[in-house]
Structure 1
Amino acid sequence: MSALLLLTCSLLATAPSSRFPLGTARMEPGSAPHGLPDWSVPRCAGCHAEQVEAWRHSGHATARTDDVFQVAITEDHPAWCIQCHAPFARSLERGALPADSPPEERGVTCAGCHAPLAETAAAPGMPCAGCHQFGFPVLDARGQRVRLSDTQWQQDTVGEWSRWRERTGDGRHCADCHMPRGDHGLGGTRRTEALKSALVVEPVEGALRVSTRGVGHHFPSGDVMRWVSVEVADTPLFESPRTVATFGRRLEVRAWPPETQPHLGAVEDTRLVPGETRRVPLPASARYARVVYHLVAREQEEAGLYPEGLSRLVLWAAPLPTRTSPRLERKP
């Protein structure tokens, strides 16, 4: 394992701390290494061309310009979201960026993971923990965000992983799965094959058994908009699918003691826990079944804010085995 990955692993073992003050402020990096004048992507590519090229094809590189994100900020204050998805951006407005916009305006660049923060310039960056573990925003009476909740996690991926590691004794860290052999393309929802390999679906009599394989956090994890549906249909084209189960979180604005102000939080969580096998009953008339990973919220899909073919990833689909009829016992 490279020195960088060893450093990342050791840092992940510590308590996460936000790299974005209050979740709203622009990230201010400390000094660039080796006396370099800045943390720009072209500057990093001068010595790390292979890593930068892999990063260019990652979800991090397009974290702001990605279609899913663009849909999300149509219903939220853009600055709140952009300052995590493009932590060095100067422009915080909605809409398309100019074609000549620098990488810092378009996504999470090298400094987002590797730079020390300005106020603690001696400390190295904390990849993952500072970006994928944070509370829901708490608003004041004027609707302004004042802090992040410590009673309800908007993203709890690092916490989920920590509890899984403690329960299982498994020593793997985030980089082992999401950066195999130092791959800066990074894993996650933009790699459909990785999602497919993480899910195990077994048709059984009248049901599907669903579990995860080699996943150290909930499924799905991260963004609260993500959810998974189990659907059945009469034909393999799924022209009129019926949803029989969902794995995700249901959100409400309410009080979350001891937090004094109401804010958004999860009132229901049906996601798959690592090591869990879920049995999903199927209607007797179902002939085909599939499992679909949704990148945007159900309300956004139903409102037509995002093309169906791009917002849904089919992870598994198959015809269902013919059910056996119960045998009639002969009377003597």
Structure 2
Amino acid sequence: MHALLLLTCSLLATAPDPRFPLGTARMEPGPAPHGLPDWNLQRCEECHSAQVESWRHSGHASARTDDVFQVAITEDRPAWCVQCHAPLARNLERGPLPPDSPAEERGVTCAGCHAALGEARATPGMPCAGCHQFGFPVLDGGGQRVRLSSTQWQQDTVGEWKRWREQSGDTRDCVSCHMPRGDHGLGGTRRTESLKASLVVEQARGALVVSTRDVGHAWPTGDVMRWASVEVSNEPLFESPRTVATFGRRLEMRAWPGEPLPHLGAVEDTRLLPGKPRRVPVPASARYARIVYHLVSREQEDSGLYPAGLSRLVLWAAPLQPRPPSKEHTP
């Protein structure tokens, strides 16, 4: 039931980046700046209190303690997941953390992005490149990971951004949009207002026209378990909604060109792309419509482990405009 999550977490932890060595090793950052003895968050806060306070409200700060993640690791092996969600963590036990656990056990702290790591270099303005760009795991007959796919990307956010930049000529990078004026709150899926602002919905005759605003990558991006649904209903509470379209990826385990071993990959991708509005027809009988962002897969939602309020975010909802009578029926 949670095979997809298990593969996702295992690969996140084995991303080819020295910030997260092999997934089972603790991140070993380089020397702290200004002669400080370590990367302790409290030391950073002494000089950068505004940045740390903003970070405390970010998804990075609660990457491990987030409710969705906590539900996931109660069912699966946590060590593969925790090393990315809390790269400086030493306690890899599953389940809730002790209340006095330091920030380094709870999420991604300052060193995760700012520490120098020998000769490792990230794309300028893109310290997140090693965390948000990697292939699906290629498994041998015994289910052991042998390499990462170089053609089937599990997370392709950096690649999506590069293609958008080449096509649009826009020079903005991740930091430009996700950290305006140095904001360490890192807007994203844990900031509902950011998600709502990224979505544009217009009503047209018999359809919704859906597009994105100021988004330089696919929507949703990142985790393959994220998707969005367009739902319609005859009553405003959506007690029995009907899904008329989805934005996401459908995965299959199969053989891929140039790869002798089968592995998971995307066989369908219906996500929104920058500058490409999507027209979604709606039934004539529908009176209301909404767009819901899902933080976990359909299978995980169906499992009943995630309450609807935990895994689903309603980003847009409105009554549908009455359709004008067609000309052939006009007296």
TM-score (normalised: structure 2): 0.89
Equivalent runs, 1:150-229 vs 2, <5 Å: 150-229=150-229
> Which one-letter code corresponds to 1:199 in the other structure?
L
Asked if 1:46 is matched to 2:46, the reply is yes
- Paired letter, 1:120: E
SS in structure 1 of the partner of residue 186 of structure 2? coil
Partner of 1:310: 310
Residue 40 of structure 1: how far off its partner (Å): 1.1
3-state secondary structure, aligned to 1:322: coil
- What's the CA shift string for 1:234-258, capped at 9, x where partnerless? 0111111000000001111122232
Counterpart AA for 2:257: P
The equivalent of 1:265 in structure 2 is 265
Identical positions, percent: 77
Q: CA deviation at 1:57?
A: 1.1
Residue equivalent to 1:319: 319
- The aligned residue for residue 94 of structure 1 is 94
Report deviation, 1:92.
2.1
- For the aligned residue pairs, the C-alpha RMSD in angstroms reads 2.2
Correspondence for 1:129: 129
Structure 1 187/271 Cα, relative in aligned 2: closer, same or farther at 3 Å?
same
Q: How has the CA–CA distance of structure 1 residues 65 and 146 changed in structure 2, closer, same or farther, with 3 Å as cutoff? A: farther
Q: Is the contact made by 1:64 and 1:82 (CA closer than 8 Å) also made in structure 2?
A: yes
State the distance in 2 between where 1:133 and 1:329 align: 54
Alpha-carbon distance in 1 for matches of 2:310, 2:121: 42
CA separation in 2, counterparts of 1:18 and 1:326? 63
Structure 1 CA distance for aligned equivalents of residues 297 and 110 of structure 2: 29
Worse-superposed segment, 74-83 or 43-52? 74-83
Please say if residues 116 and 125 of structure 1, whose CA atoms lie closer than 8 Å, have aligned partners that are also in contact: no
**CA gap 1:329/1:270 in 2 versus in 1, 3 angstroms:** closer
* CA distance 1:17–1:161, shift in 2 (3 Å): farther
Partners of 2:35 and 2:125 in 1: CA distance: 17
* One-letter amino acid of the counterpart of residue 293, structure 2: Y
Gap change, CA 1:139 and 1:91, over 3 Å in 2: farther
Provide the C-alpha distance between the structure 1 equivalents of 2:177 and 2:61, rounded to a whole number of angstroms: 19
Decide whether the 8 Å contact of 1:30 with 1:120 is kept in 2: no
Rounded to whole Å, the distance in 1 between the matches of 2:279 and 2:100 is 51
Q: Secondary structure at the match of 2:79?
A: helix
- Matches of 1:108 and 1:142 in 2, distance apart? 33
The range that moved more, 211-220 or 127-136, is 127-136
Unaligned runs of 5+ in 2: 1-15
How far apart are 1:301 and its partner, in Å? 0.9
Residues 23 and 139 (structure 1), Cα distance of their counterparts in 2 relative to 1, 3 Å cut:
farther
75-84 or 181-190, which moves further after superposition?
75-84
Unaligned runs of 5+ in 1: 1-15
The 1:51–1:325 alpha-carbon spacing in structure 2 relative to 1, beyond 3 Å, is: same
| Residues 113, 125 of structure 1: 8 Å contact kept | no
**What whole-Å deviation, never above 9, does each CA across 1:28-58 have from its counterpart, x for those lacking one?**
2111111111111111111111111111111
Query: Partner residue of 1:140?
Result: 140
The superposition leaves residues 51-90 of structure 1 with CA deviations (integer Å, 9 ceiling, x where unpaired) of 1111111100110110111233345432221111111111
Deviation at 1:141, TM superposition (A): 3.5
CA 1:125–1:194 in 2, change beyond 3 Å: closer, same or farther?
closer
Work out the CA distance in 2 between the residues paired with 1:126 and 1:274: 19
How many pairs align? Answer: 315
Task: Quote how far apart the aligned CAs of 1:298 are.
Answer: 1.0
